[in-house]
Structure 1
């Protein structure tokens, strides 16, 4: 038994990409931890470790030593965002209320000859107001920076703290000089405004994070807070949180079903659109499964609870979406590597700026304001948000479309695919046989042939029999009295009808029974070339008719194949059916490469061989026999109506079971990667362009410089831009 396990931890106190890098490095330095994936957007860490060497308590202790709060368990993103929003709003309002009078006192003399306070009194009041803003409203920034310093690490709070503390204590020194008859520039208002703008940026960031998590919020809201239970024959209203497996519930018209279960009484129409995207209500009968979160339409019904609350379809979808949002895309690794060395580089640039301006113009205020501006404007927050905000918004948007991605790297992987493999039955086809052609050869018409065959097959559970019986019921064709039915599995049946010998089956079976197929064999071969299954009907050694059945190709399959042909190099169809049947479907859809009569392990082998040839492969399937290939492929895509095993082996789940959602997945992955690249470009370009201006490099030539206040506003805007750009994914039409 393996000792390696994986746990998720909620982390509080991370603000930038450098924080992420600090936590990851700190965790990976612990003996026994094999991997750690930290996500800034969801404030979580997924840690893989050997439980014989490391405990969850020691992991939490290590994160605490790094300067952050941690606890075991998946973060409740909604509550987390709510707490962050309340906290950031409170801090910003406090800072704002004290910054306004401070700015009036500091700036008023610049625009008028009237002084609100004398110079000395003004300096003291500014120091008091600025101190409250910096050390109370901005205390979380300073505390975190101090914790990082004690661990010999740094992050964006390090830069903010150094910039604002430099401004504040320089101003205290300047105040001392003023009281001794000197004239110096004060930066109390700069330190205060920087903190206020940073807090404003974090408030907007928290609001934007909340919007990005709206998909999860919408899913969670599908569970009603209360339910009507039948306990000992009495109907009682109970909290949904107290529902247990085995309980009996009553669901009235217009109410949402609180949990998964099985219908015991009545036949309601259920609206499952919020779960599956299917717009039409689904008619249910006794014994049918119903899902929590779906809406009862027309009549009340009684149901039995068949699952625990944390094992419902809805909770599974929420868990999958949350997991995907907690994953890190490969493209983020570049940003993380840069962020891990970014802060030390900025500190070096700030020291260089200080040294240069000290020797070039020691009496100039440019020395102090340039150092402060460099420290403030270079905070790497936008780098840390560039990828996770897009993944959060993108996975949530797809969830609304009934497309569940299980990993955050799916978007990037999809854009790199160059080969797609399809299972046939249940994926490209409906997975249900239908009668598509009936031909009469002698003495009976088409209706007689169906009525006769359906009557003979009435006891059979074979898919062919079921399809013929369904066809007979659909058109209400007359049944016949059949007796002495003998079934030969895989071949056909023999029976008696009106004292005549009745033989129904495939061509091999009829030939074995010494029945001459004649021209019917030619018709049969023609139908089989189209990928259809053919059975013959004979009375007294004479062919009377032929029935062709087909596993109907999904109506959207042709459009999907046509789209994929324009996007990737190869499309392959794999099937356990005969070569004739598989080839017929392949030709219908325009698929050139197909393999027939293959076993499940052969599907996996084919995927492996294509991967060895350098292909990036998506496998799309729905059955148990597809599970090994789905797991082996770079991306496994499961049709939602498929088996649990196939779904568990996949990376993407098409909940609505619509093949056209593959087009949406491909298109949306492109959009998401474009957004991520735009975010990263902005984050890098912003720093590359802004830092030289803040350092005052262009001041001697063009007079370009940045005040610390403008630097703080630009830094906050940079992070806000990244978040808002990612939220554009919510408005993209699919």
Structure 2
């Protein structure tokens, strides 16, 4: 099976995208075909032995749409495309202004004197008076209508083309309605001379013109607003600088020419050109656009930096480790694009409805017209009903309801460092009722730190100084934790050891100022004849909390103990408390021993602790929870938790910057902050609420509007809907849907 992406042109509504899906799915060997209206892309999976790309393109083009294989756009091409879109939008704006001016004049000419608030007499020569020269009056309206029809010509070319190919769309409805009104008015113009007073009142030029203008206004506002929904990707694309400074030569070179291993100089205020590691210098770096982290991050030699982040105050020398499509920024952009291009399950229902909606509406319009004709209404009345039904039922709002909300929702998440792989994940995340948390690196920092210093026959500073001096010669993580803690306490220079010996499984033996110093477990000190009884209870208490106590002695005298453990992240307890407020059951899942796991579980307040589980066994724990009927989100580091992340309904990788595990997770949290988990849950709930609101208004609008346009109110003595008001209502519904989606972008997570 082969999966490809194609760019589709000529789509204007959900019926269009549904038509493309329908014709491509009928091809032999096609497993699936999904078309995204907003990104204008089709993703198709097919058996290449049964169908070729040429056949796919030909099938789409036969349906009345353009189809070309999607090519990864280079930076210049991307900019050219953006410029072309901006130019097209400006062209639409000028055509809209032109159509609007002519439509207003036409409306004034045709109906100004009939309005209840009494407009002043028309400043026209008597030659164009409706009463004295009705033929000239009709010809003037015809001349005013023609420019509007020209400005809205794409509705006719696209609409009738789709109709001929058997795939009527929104443009088909507008084209048929406007064409019928215009054609009928032209016939009346030629018949006016036979009976002026009878036929002059049956002109509907203003309906044809104003409907096109109002629908064009709605389409223009949609296009302009849709550009805003793509803002997240556009902003990310602009982060990468065009040039970089090579450290060895000082030359400025294009960023795209950088290779792994190159060392670049990043000046204060400049953007980091590519992912890399700091080799020299100290500075603060703003990673807000990439990770959502509001505070600058301190960088020193050995620190990783992300391409696109901003160097704030110091010069940094950075060795490039990733370039091009491998950079974190490029992967984030692909991640967000994929999410915006994949449909949520709820949108598939809307697409199915929209796919049959246009033919059904055309049938309703014909039936309503025939029914009123049989009832004895004049042709002008029948035409008005027919046109109104076609115009008001355009499914623009229905087609925009879901993709706009998904685009805005994924963009909002990206701005907060929450990357969501697909619309489906965005939709189902809100239904999660159980969050399973890996311990090390997720709830805790993933690195040991000193938690307790318990002196016995010396002061705390003395104990810490001697312990740090002994441990400074060891590369063990526990030793590194003690030396780092001593350094943070500002104890000054450590005394130098005269000799040392690493005792495997026990600890260290060293000579300091002519005396033997021991540092390690209880067994080491007891074998050396040191009495550790005074601190045994404290050591047992700390061990029961999952900590590792280490005893220290000098000259055969017990100095005290220092305990080391994997420390909690500051926000873990608050994040879990927030999840519980949302009604989420929390489970701590770890391979650590029960004592350590239970202690961490009590500190953060999880509902359940599952300990001593191997990485390959974690997926089984997820399966058992699912067997209980729970919707599970697994939160882990995305590497050793990959099986569990894949098994869960939602896999969430929590990591920092360039170490994200994009391939194994559905959601990636760029920050090492567990509070982004409840934020992701809230984002999903807000987006789904927005989609449901949009779909409700779109369906509600059509459900109410079509019967009114068909003359239901008139049947009971009410007014008959004008095609002009139908066009205004249709455009307003689309704008409301897009506006509601954009409102989501201002939500607080």
TM-score of Structure 1 vs Structure 2, range by shorter chain: over 0.9
- Among candidates 439, 446, 449, match of residue 460 of structure 2: 446
Q: Does 2:80 align with 1:73? A: no
Q: Does 2:607 align with 1:592? A: yes
- Among candidates 17, 20, 27, match of residue 30 of structure 1: 27
* Cα deviations by residue, 1:570-623 (Å, 9 ceiling, x for unpaired): 211011211100110001112231111211111111112222332111111115
Alpha carbons of structure 1 residues 146 and 245: separation in structure 2 relative to 1, 3 Å: farther
Q: Does 2:205 align with 1:188? A: yes
- Among candidates 1, 6, 11, match of residue 9 of structure 1: 6
Correspondence list, 1:659-678, <5 A: 659-678=674-693
Q: CA deviation at 1:245?
A: 4.8
Alpha carbons of structure 1 residues 228 and 90: separation in structure 2 relative to 1, 3 Å: farther
Rounded to whole Å, the distance in 2 between the matches of 1:483 and 1:655 is 46
* Cα deviations by residue, 1:109-168 (Å, 9 ceiling, x for unpaired): 53577663532123233334424422x322222222223223212211121111111111
1:648 aligns to what SS in structure 2? coil
CA contact (8 A) 2:418 2:667 kept: yes
**Corresponding residue number in structure 1 for 2:227:** 210
CA contact (8 A) 1:451 1:472 kept: yes
Rounded to whole Å, the distance in 2 between the matches of 1:154 and 1:670 is 35
Q: CA deviation at 1:354?
A: 0.7
**Corresponding residue number in structure 2 for 1:716:** 731
Rounded to whole Å, the distance in 2 between the matches of 1:74 and 1:381 is 29
Q: CA deviation at 1:486?
A: 3.6
* Cα deviations by residue, 1:59-108 (Å, 9 ceiling, x for unpaired): 33332222222331368695675355234324323322432333333224
Q: CA deviation at 1:560?
A: 1.3
Alpha carbons of structure 1 residues 248 and 546: separation in structure 2 relative to 1, 3 Å: closer
2:64 aligns to what SS in structure 1? coil
**646-655 vs 247-256, greater mean Cα deviation:** 247-256
**454-463 vs 166-175, greater mean Cα deviation:** 454-463
CA contact (8 A) 2:306 2:657 kept: no
* Cα deviations by residue, 1:374-412 (Å, 9 ceiling, x for unpaired): 000001110111111111111111211111111112332
Q: Does 2:414 align with 1:399? A: yes
**379-388 vs 46-55, greater mean Cα deviation:** 46-55
Q: Does 2:160 align with 1:146? A: yes
CA contact (8 A) 1:78 1:213 kept: no
**Corresponding residue number in structure 2 for 1:468:** 482
2:338 aligns to what SS in structure 1? helix
CA contact (8 A) 1:268 1:301 kept: yes
Rounded to whole Å, the distance in 1 between the matches of 2:437 and 2:618 is 10
2:98 aligns to what SS in structure 1? helix
Q: CA deviation at 1:304?
A: 4.0
Tell me the TM-score normalized by structure 2: 0.91
- Among candidates 100, 104, 108, match of residue 108 of structure 2: 104
Alpha carbons of structure 1 residues 57 and 539: separation in structure 2 relative to 1, 3 Å: farther
CA contact (8 A) 1:267 1:285 kept: yes
Alpha carbons of structure 1 residues 406 and 510: separation in structure 2 relative to 1, 3 Å: farther
CA contact (8 A) 2:328 2:657 kept: no
Q: CA deviation at 1:663?
A: 2.2
May I ask how many residue pairs the two structures share in their alignment?
Answer: 727
Alpha carbons of structure 1 residues 8 and 490: separation in structure 2 relative to 1, 3 Å: farther
**Corresponding residue number in structure 2 for 1:122:** 137
1:702 aligns to what SS in structure 2? coil
CA contact (8 A) 1:9 1:74 kept: no
Alpha carbons of structure 1 residues 607 and 272: separation in structure 2 relative to 1, 3 Å: same
1:550 aligns to what SS in structure 2? strand
2:192 aligns to what SS in structure 1? helix
- Among candidates 158, 166, 176, match of residue 162 of structure 1: 176
- Among candidates 333, 336, 341, match of residue 326 of structure 1: 341
CA contact (8 A) 1:504 1:537 kept: yes
CA RMSD, 1 decimal: 2.6
Alpha carbons of structure 1 residues 113 and 501: separation in structure 2 relative to 1, 3 Å: closer
- Among candidates 545, 559, 563, match of residue 548 of structure 1: 563
Alpha carbons of structure 1 residues 10 and 82: separation in structure 2 relative to 1, 3 Å: farther
**592-601 vs 181-190, greater mean Cα deviation:** 181-190
Q: Does 2:448 align with 1:436? A: no
Q: CA deviation at 1:287?
A: 4.7
CA contact (8 A) 2:23 2:63 kept: yes
Which runs of 5 or more structure 1 residues have no equivalent in the other structure? none
- Among candidates 386, 390, 401, match of residue 386 of structure 1: 401
Rounded to whole Å, the distance in 1 between the matches of 2:47 and 2:659 is 29
* Cα deviations by residue, 1:482-541 (Å, 9 ceiling, x for unpaired): 455443555433444556554433346656777654242211121123332222224566
Correspondence list, 1:178-327, <5 A: 178-181=192-195, 183-184=198-199, 185-229=202-246, 233=249, 235-243=250-258, 245=260, 247-327=262-342
2:42 aligns to what SS in structure 1? strand
Alpha carbons of structure 1 residues 421 and 309: separation in structure 2 relative to 1, 3 Å: same
CA contact (8 A) 1:640 1:647 kept: no
* Cα deviations by residue, 1:332-377 (Å, 9 ceiling, x for unpaired): 1221121111112111111111111101133263211111000000
**489-498 vs 320-329, greater mean Cα deviation:** 489-498
Q: Does 2:545 align with 1:530? A: yes
Rounded to whole Å, the distance in 2 between the matches of 1:472 and 1:141 is 75
Alpha carbons of structure 1 residues 677 and 713: separation in structure 2 relative to 1, 3 Å: same
1:120 aligns to what SS in structure 2? helix
**Corresponding residue number in structure 2 for 1:60:** 57
Correspondence list, 1:512-661, <5 A: 517-539=532-554, 543-622=558-637, 624-641=639-656, 644=659, 646-661=661-676
1:147 aligns to what SS in structure 2? helix
**Corresponding residue number in structure 1 for 2:89:** 85
Rounded to whole Å, the distance in 2 between the matches of 1:452 and 1:245 is 43
**510-519 vs 150-159, greater mean Cα deviation:** 510-519
Rounded to whole Å, the distance in 1 between the matches of 2:345 and 2:113 is 53
Alpha carbons of structure 1 residues 63 and 241: separation in structure 2 relative to 1, 3 Å: farther
CA contact (8 A) 2:24 2:56 kept: yes
2:716 aligns to what SS in structure 1? helix
Tell me the TM-score normalized by structure 1: 0.93
**622-631 vs 637-646, greater mean Cα deviation:** 637-646
**248-257 vs 557-566, greater mean Cα deviation:** 248-257
